Amino acid sequence: MIRHIVLFKLKPEYTWADERVTEAERMAADVGKEVEDLLEWRAGRNISERAIAYDFAVMGLVRDEDALQRYLLHPFHQESAARWREISDWVIADLEE
């Protein structure tokens, strides 16, 4: 199993009041419904106000490396990632479980 984790930091010119941000948040939540290879999916806003904190996170679980590649290439995931790319910077980690 592989746990896929992405942390998003909004670019300084964007806030949660921006329609592009709330649309990206909605799409991220729906990735779990749209991508068949995801065994688990969580998405949500960070509640920490620490300066080093990221603003939003997604976590998914896939069976193996092949499933991870299918997830990454899935059209709905690609569209969601494109929206986040516009409004944020991010870091990822893929952990074996």
| CA distance to 23, 29, 48, 56, 87, per residue, from 15 (Å) | 12, 18, 15, 12, 9
- End-to-end distance of the chain based on CA atoms, in angstroms? 5
CA-nearest of 9, 92, 15 to 56 is 9
pLDDT tens digits for range 70-86: 999 999 999 999 999 99
The predicted structure's pLDDT at residue 65: 97
pTM: 0.93
DSSP 8-state class, residue 18: S
For residues 76 and 48, what is the distance between their CA atoms, to the nearest angstrom? Answer: 29
- At 13, the amino acid letter reads E
